[in-house]
Amino acid sequence: MIFLIDFTPIKPDFGLIFWTTIIFLIFWLMIGKFAFRPIAAALKKRESDIQGSLDEAKRVRQEMANLKAENEALLVQAREERAHILKEAKDAGNKLVEEAKIKAKEEAQKIVASAKEQIENQKMAAITDLKNQVGAISLEIAEKVIRKELKGNAEHEAFVNGLVKEIKLN
């Protein structure tokens, strides 16, 4: 094997200079314009998108937390209200029943009282009637008796009537 002891890579050859210049400039300008810039722009856009999404997620989560807290508070309030309402209703029911009972009692008492009064009245009427009858009967009796004994004695008659009046049944 024969070799030239010649370190050629250090001798810049015009052809290689020419081609390197052309190829590199085309690569820089073409790929720079159609690939590097669009890629950088896409990466930048994605970066801001991701940041935006993260911020949005954070915000939404905060909002959700707020909403949840609100809901919970609302729920607690509703529960309290329900209990309150239930209690009120119960109370009202109880009151109504109580009132009805009292009223019924009063009514019953009233009825009983009025019945008693009526009975009393009837009794009194009956007694009066009876007294009158007894008086009349007694008068008749006394008339008959007196007619027999004392005929037409007004003094006696008044005395007897007075006696009759004094008679009290019970």
Partner 1 sequence: MHRYILSFIFLLCFSVFAISQNEHEPQNGGQPAGEQPANMEEQHGDPGVIDHQAHGEASHDAGCGEQAEHEFDPGATAFHHIADQNIYSIGPWSLPLPCFLYAPDHGWSVFSSGKFHADAHGNGHVAIDKYVLVEGMVQRIADPSFPDGEVEVAHHPYFQKVKKEDGSEKEAAFICYESKLYPAEDRSTADGGLFGGGITSFYDFSLTKNVTSMIFIFALLSWMFLSIAKAYKTRDGMAPKGVQGFIEPIFLFIQDEVAKPFLGHKWEQYLPFLMALFFFILGLNLFGQIPFLGGSNVSGNLAVTMVLAIITFLVVNLSGNKNYWEHILWMPGVPAWVKVILTPVELLGVFIKPMTLMLRLFANITAGHMVMVIFVSLIFVFSNNGLNVGAGYGTAVGSTLLTLFMMTIELLVAFIQAFVFTILTASYIGAATEEAHH
Binding mask 7-46 for partner 1 (x = CB under 8 A): xxxxxxxxxxxxxxx-xxxxxx-xxxxxxxxxxx-xx--x
Residue number with CB closer to partner 1 (5 or 154): 5
Across the chain, which distance is largest between two alpha carbons, in Å?
201
Minimum distance, C-beta of residue 18 to partner 1, in the bound complex (Å): 6
Give the nearer residue to partner 1 in terms of CB position, either 37 or 87. 37
Contact 130, 167 (CB under 8 A): no
DSSP state of 152: T
For partner 1, the closer CB: 20 or 128:
20
Around 118, how many Cα atoms within 13 Å sit in the side-chain half-sphere?
6
CB burial of 129-153 (b: ≥16 within 10 Å; e: otherwise) equals eebeeebeebbeebbeebeeeeeee
Q: Does 88 bind partner 1 (CB under 8 A)?
A: no
If the CB atoms of residues 25 and 69 are measured against partner 1, the closer one turns out to be: 25
Note the residues at the interface with partner 1 (CB under 8 A).
1-21, 23-28, 30-40, 42-43, 46, 49
